[in-house]
Structure 1
Amino acid sequence: MKVDLKRQKMFVAGDWVERERVLEVRNPEDDDLIAVVPRASRKDMEEAVELAKKGAQVSAHLPVYKRMNILNKAADYVETHKETYAKTIALEGSKTITEARKEAGRCVETLRLSAEEARRVTGETIPFDQSEGGVGRFGYYERVPLGIIGAITPFNDPLNLVAHKIGPAIASGNAIVVKPATATPLSALFLAEAFDYAELPKGILSVITGIGSEVGQVLMTHPDVRMISFTGGMEAGLKIANQAGLKKKSMELGSNSPVIVLEDASLEEAIPSCVSGAFWAAGQNCIGVQRIYIDQSIYKEFKDQFVKETKQYRLGPKLDESTSMGPLINEKEAKRVAFMVEDAERTGATILTGGKRDGAFYEPTVLENVPEDCHLGREEVFGPVVLLYSYQTLTEAIEKANQTDYGLQAGLFTKDLHRAFTLIKQLHVGGVMINDSTDFRIDGMPFGGTKQSGVGREGVKFSIHEMTEEKVICFKLA
């Protein structure tokens, strides 16, 4: 790889450029300086969008086989340099090297899926004679690219979630301008390097590093940007919805994910699955397990074993193969999580294990008796904290699982197929994982939620659908 981990350039429509103003990228583990990247200006973003207008025309006319070749070649590049990508993810973010390797592998899969789906951007013939006035006509519809996609990505999956924007955009013939998270821009820049290596035509892709209030604002409000694909917090999502104007929006805005454990569940499966689901990536995971509702008859057994397994988690250096969990993205976030736990404790919650902070590190934390109207009960914690509740009836469990303003994914554990289907119908979420925690996703499935968890769906095939629109063609025959 050509990257310099000390001074990095940004990718503007196919060219690598530097700027005098820079942003520091620091390792949250010890605050060491990893690199500096350009701090783009409003003018830089405006230029990127202007160049993307030409890139969109190039992309729309790029033959499908060429799109596929470019995506597969970029995937090959990431796969060849997988360990470097993984190390970068771990250094600039919160993931351990083990977690980062999994993300790098998923990025390869996302790009290959995008290449495959490029051949399936199709339409259908339309029987116009279904209407009396349509007799003597023949036609069809096709899916056409929107033009320019604006992508704003988060820090918690700094490589694969960027691939989930870029891959479908290229597969569907669009241009795309990416504004990666300020804290974790390196992974996105290195992904741009893969597309540079794959000889993606100039103008189709830009990765602009900078402050959201400066460059993100330009991207989301620019009239030539036809869609905003955003993954992040609910407040930012509401701002985009209010300010972006008449353009398509696909937004994944987080959750407060519930799991329901029935009395017939296999605890040997449920407990390790939920422990992993709660503390993966230090809990900074939109589908991480936050609330677990356990049948009262097995509550104590579940709780005791869950706490025991949580205590086995080892906090430590992210590049250490034996580390179970690293720090949060910065000390400010760790303090925010600590405040939410302390607030819950003040209002009656009991800390069963964890609850201590050291800089950006926050221990895996389990609570019970958490009031449902406190911050932890209502909001997304986005940290390594999980809440245990007992329930008496399934009706009670379902009502409590549904009571938040979020609805991304839910999990349930049972051997009873009938009751599983009952819960599936009654849970107000975008996905239900049976005998699995909420923290399960493959890159080919539709991914998104209800209520304030967002609008639209990701997942390669479904992102392509969001990034295209139907165009009707009708021939009046002589």
Structure 2
Amino acid sequence: MHTARASESMDVTDPESGALVGTVARHRQVDACAALDRASGARADMADLPTHARMAALRASAHTLKGQVDTVAALIASEGIKTITEARSEVERAAETLRLSAEAARDLTGKTIRFDQYPTGVGRSGWAEPMPVGVVLGITPFNDPLNLVAHKIGPAVAAGCPIILKPHEATPLSALWLVDVLAEHLPKGAIEVLTGQGAELVPPLLADDRVRLVSFTGGLATGRKIAASAGVTRLVTELGSNCATIVMNDADLDLAVEACVSGAIAAAGQNCLHVQRIIAQRGIYQKLRERLADGFSAVVTGPKKDPRTQMGCLIDEASAIRVEAMGRNAVAAGARTLAGGLRDGVHYKPTLLECLRADDPILRDEVFGPITALMSADDIDDAISQANATPFGLQAAIFTQRLDDAYRAVRSLDVGTVIVNDSTDYRLDAMPFGGTGQSGVGREGVTAAVAAMSEPKVACFRWLASLQGAAS
């Protein structure tokens, strides 16, 4: 890794307590350009790095990570919004992401081409081989400051691409820790890290055609700006969602309630897979309503590092105020509060609302906070119609014991992934991950990301008559 020295620095503070967690460089545009020079200079070295060396680097880093779960989890919980329990889980997942990346490096293979399928191809043979796309720009958010970094860096290493990482300015320490571990095993310039404001650092990189792919996870507004500036540069973007979970009359309510409450409070709702809407068939609406209200009210909130805490804080007070305003506006327009609705500084109680107006932003946009709307539906078709009534389409879920309803949901929900008998807050790091509509472009997940960071190069051999004769 090369983290450029900077004449300025910035503090990283705990959003819950305001305590100083660390200090990092505040990079400027000149630093971004220098980082791109170094990354571009490492392109050939990374492309030539043997597969076994890529795999060894990723495996060694995963091993180091698994050996320091408590240390790294404490760092995640200090600089960000995760509870200590959530942070430990994230460290384990990040190690798995690196392991999967090592396997993806080995599985990155090409295919032969039958040139003689057309008359002009007789006497020719060849193949298509995946080659590294070049310099990758990876931009990550604050809500998963380690694992989403692993999802950018791991596939880049597997594909043989140098990467410039821009972690969120509020949570750069976890990223720097991981990059320091990986960089020990890689050529100089293979991973460059820029810490500071994205609005200053990203534009000059987008304007330079040496950046061949941008992998961005973050908000829709920023994603649109990146897409408008990227030109012909490849994009893989995950831009959030408004995830709906359908609960049918025949659902296992114990399972549904537990999963929906858990999925609503994970990362204090600052999660693209957040259970933002629960659509219940009318036959179980009242029973589900009561049990969800009890479940939301029973969630233990408090200090992030207390193992008993189930939900932590928002990233800053401005975010907590914004989420509180969304809830208040919904209630002022006629919604009913079943649980929560109270803010204390950066903490906002898990909130369950019902009777929202059809045009309420909570039913259409991404809250990115712990508010969930409860809705009713007549039947499976009504539930699917309501679930699709948003421009986002990352994931949706359905609880049912009827195979035909589950299959109809899988076929008809306009999303990237449908989860059956679990909430939307489920992701396997190995699966393709992304959505439709405003949820983004392309797919992440290790294998999909490695494919995006590669491009096929075709080799076509026309055999000379003398060689053909020798072969015969």
Amino acid at match of 2:75: T
Is 1:264 paired with 2:250? yes
Alignment of 1:304-453 (within 5 A): 304-453=290-439
In structure 1, the partner of 2:241 is 255
SS at match of 1:226: strand
* Pairing 1:112-123 to 2, within 5 Å after superposition: 112-123=99-110
Structure 2 runs not aligned, ≥5 long: 465-472
Q: Following superposition of structure 1 onto structure 2, how do residues 14-413 of structure 1 map, counting pairs within 5 Å?
A: 14-197=1-184, 199-413=185-399
**2:4–2:31 contact (8 Å) kept in structure 1:** no
Secondary structure at 1:264 match in 2: coil
- Tell me, yes or no, if structure 1 residue 468 matches structure 2 residue 430: no
Q: Report the CA distance between 1:138 and its aligned residue.
A: 0.4
Query: Matches of 1:75 and 1:56 in 2, distance apart?
Result: 24
Q: TM-score, normalised by structure 1?
A: 0.96
Preserved CA contact (<8 Å) 1:21 1:40: yes
Percent of matched pairs sharing the same residue: 47
Q: How far off its partner does 1:392 sit?
A: 1.1
Normalising by structure 2, report the TM-score: 0.97
**Cα-to-partner distance string for 1:291-345 (whole Å, 9 max, x where unaligned):** 0110111101001001111111111111111011110011011011011111111
Report the CA distance between 1:393 and its aligned residue: 2.2
Deviations along 1:190-241, one digit per CA (max 9) or x if unpaired, are: 01111134x2111100111010111122233322100000000011111111
The size of the alignment, in residue pairs, is 464
Counterpart-to-counterpart distance in 2, 1:323 and 1:339: 25
SS of the aligned residue for 2:211 comes to coil
Q: What does the per-residue CA deviation read over 1:104-154, in whole Å, with 9 as the maximum and x for residues that have no partner? A: 000000001101110111110000111122111101100000110001100
Superposed displacement of residue 184, structure 1: 0.4
**Alpha carbons 2:183, 2:190 under 8 Å: kept:** no
CA–CA separation in structure 1 for the residues paired with 2:291 and 2:342:
21
Q: Mean alpha-carbon deviation: is it higher for 63-72 or for 22-31?
A: 22-31
Counterpart residue identity of residue 378, structure 2: Q
Structure 1 unpaired stretches of 5+: 1-13
Q: Determine the C-alpha separation between the residues in 2 that align with 1:314 and 1:26.
A: 24
Tell me how far 1:20 sits from its aligned partner.
2.7
Distance in 2 separating the partners of 1:469 and 1:285: 31
Shift of 1:17: 4.5
The alpha carbon displacement at 1:16 in A equals 4.8
How many angstroms apart in 2 are the aligned matches of 1:218 and 1:370? 43
Paired with 1:87 and 1:219, the residues of 2 have a C-alpha distance of 32
- The question of whether the paired residues in 2 share the 8 Å contact of 1:343 and 1:375 is answered with no
- After superposition, give the CA deviation of every residue in 1:238-291 in whole Å (9 maximum; x if it has no partner): 111110111100000000000111100000100000000011010111011100
- Across the aligned residues of Structure 1 and Structure 2, the Cα RMSD in angstroms comes to 0.9
Residues 4-62 of structure 1: CA deviation (Å, up to 9, x unaligned): xxxxxxxxxx3354423112211111111211110001010100000011111100000
CA distance in 1, matches of 2:207, 2:428: 31
| Inter-partner Cα distance in structure 1 for 2:330 and 2:207 | 38
C-alpha separation between the residues in 1 aligned to 2:221 and 2:208? 20
Q: Which amino acid aligns with 2:265?
A: F
Match of 1:10 in 2: none
What SS does the corresponding residue of 2:42 show, helix, strand or coil? helix
Whether the aligned pair in 2 keeps the contact of 1:148 and 1:225 (CA below 8 Å) is yes
Contact 1:366–1:386, Cα closer than 8 Å, also in 2? yes
Cα distance in 1 between the residues matched to 2:302 and 2:393 = 33
Contact 1:139 1:475 in 2 (8 A): yes
Q: What's the secondary structure of 1:245's corresponding residue?
A: coil
Assess if the C-alpha contact under 8 Å between 2:3 and 2:193 holds in 1: no
- Deviation for aligned residue 1:101: 0.2
Query: Distance in 1 between the 2:89 and 2:178 partners?
Result: 16
Structure 1 residue runs of 4 or more that deviate by more than 6 Å after TM superposition: none
